[in-house]
Amino acid sequence: MAKRGYNIISVDGRVIEEGDRIRFLNDVGGGTVRRFEGNGTVIVEEDNGFEISVPVRECIVTEKRNRDLEVADTAVRIPQTETLAEIPVSRLREAMMEKNVPNPCKKRPDNKPQDIRQPLEIDLHIGQLVDNTRGMSNKDMLDYQLDTFRKIMNNHRTKKGQRIVFIHGKGDGVLRTALLGELRLKYPKTSSQDAPFHKYGFGATLVTI
């Protein structure tokens, strides 16, 4: 019986997940990964709509569903000499648990009070805020950017003299106009101006609490 419960694997360092576009290693053709089987095979939907079963090791990814996927954090690796069906369930559990163990070598957060003389820099480009904008309309993205702006402002509104640079980009000015409107209506005690041109051009606004 095929084993379910996973939608991403790593084979010899190559990550394959449901939704990826693949081609066949030793045959003509390819398609879209639909699901994984527990015997080391993957179900691929060809461009003609038919589904076929193909060994995972015969699949070469040509287009990722998620381009920002990091193998080390999300994938269970399959060694060269093993297929998915040969790996004991206990080992799969151990591998997933190891990914949740904190790394003692990672730098601990700095709890020192922030020097308000140094401006805080916040990049509001949507690509810096979310990993994937799939399914988000222009309004959804603008709302997300404004929510981030409000969160930063509310977290620092009691820090008199704090300077914050909001990087919004030049673009067509929609986000910049929305930020200035928010400042006038909800944060009237703050001051704002264009951030230093030599560093940000026309793409950022400097707010002083």
Q: What was the pLDDT predicted at 184?
A: 94
Residue span of the structural domain in which 54 resides: 8-98
Whether this model's pTM surpasses 0.75? no
* Same domain, residue pair 69 and 148: no
> Has residue 68 been placed in a domain?
yes
Average pLDDT, integer, range 177-201:
92
Which CATH number characterizes residue 186's domain? 3.30.1370.110
Q: Which residues contact 114 (CB under 8 A, 6 or more apart)?
A: 120
Residues 73 and 139 in one domain: no
- Greater pLDDT, 110 or 39: 39
Q: Is the pLDDT of residue 75 over 50?
A: no
Statement to judge: residues 124 and 201 lie in one domain: yes
In a domain, 103, yes or no: no
pLDDT digits (tens, 9 = 90+) for 141-174: 999 999 999 999 999 989 899 999 999 988 778 9
Say yes or no: 91 and 129 in one domain: no
Mean model confidence pLDDT for the chain: 76
Predicted confidence (pLDDT) at residue 85 exceeds the cutoff of 60: no
Residue 180 belongs to some domain of the structure: yes
- Specify the pLDDT at position 80: 45
Same domain, 127 and 197: yes
Domain count, the chain: 2
- Would 104 be classed as within a structural domain? no
Instruction: Please indicate, yes or no, whether residues 129 and 86 belong to a single structural domain of this protein.
Output: no
- Per-residue pLDDT band at 108 (split at 50, 70, 90): low
Q: Is residue 197 situated within a structural domain?
A: yes
Residues 85 and 142 in one domain: no
**Interval 115-139: pLDDT, tens:** 556 789 999 999 999 988 899 999 9
Quick check: is 110 in a domain?
no
CATH number at residue 64: 2.30.30.140
